Amino acid sequence: MSKIYVDADACPVKDETLKVVARHNTPVHFVANQWLRLPQSPLIHMQLAPEGPDEADNWIAEHINADDICITGDIPLAARCIKKGAAVINHNGQEFTEDSIGMALASRDLMTHLRDIGEIEGGSGKSFSKSDRSKFLSNLDTLVQKSFNPK
């Protein structure tokens, strides 16, 4: 059975993910470096990753399979999951694909470089909105239906 993996440390859409999990009776793994309070259910699993940078990402990348879904805003993790055949969606509902991940990685690297040399400061500055949350919920629901009920 396919599963959902959530890069959960800074995930703003945990509640929306749980709604989709309940609606589709889908197992989910919340992976984080710190303990999260989650509802008790045989479908919901909390995986505490070891301390250290990228340890949660490494756990997800090692355990995810083709036909699974990863929820993350981390573009390098998204690329690793796509390489294994998994579907990937970010927190505002954008799906990363084989066609889009290269550009996303390049943009991320460029922005990191510009911040490192002092040309720009901070992130995008765009706040997470109700419409982002709604788009995520709708797109995750569609992705679960497509991934778990292939034609």
Q: What is the per-residue pLDDT across 27-43, written as a single tens digit (0 to 9) for each?
A: 999 999 999 999 999 99
Domain count, the chain: 1
Residue with tokens 């800074």: 10
Q: Hey, is 122 helix, strand or coil?
A: coil
> Cα(61)–Cα(83) distance, rounded to whole angstroms?
10
Residues of the chain with pLDDT under 70: 100-115, 122-126, 148-151
pLDDT in tens, 84-100: 999 999 998 988 887 76
Q: Is the pTM of this model over 0.75?
A: yes
pLDDT at residue number 118: 77
pLDDT at residue number 123: 58
Query: Which domain CATH number covers 46?
Result: 3.40.50
Strand partners, 10: none
> Which is it for the CA torsion 66, 49, 57, 24, positive or negative?
positive
> Cα(128)–Cα(12) distance, rounded to whole angstroms?
8
pLDDT at residue number 106: 61
Domain of 13? 4-148
pLDDT at residue number 146: 86
Q: Residue 127 phi/psi, 5° resolution?
A: -85, 160
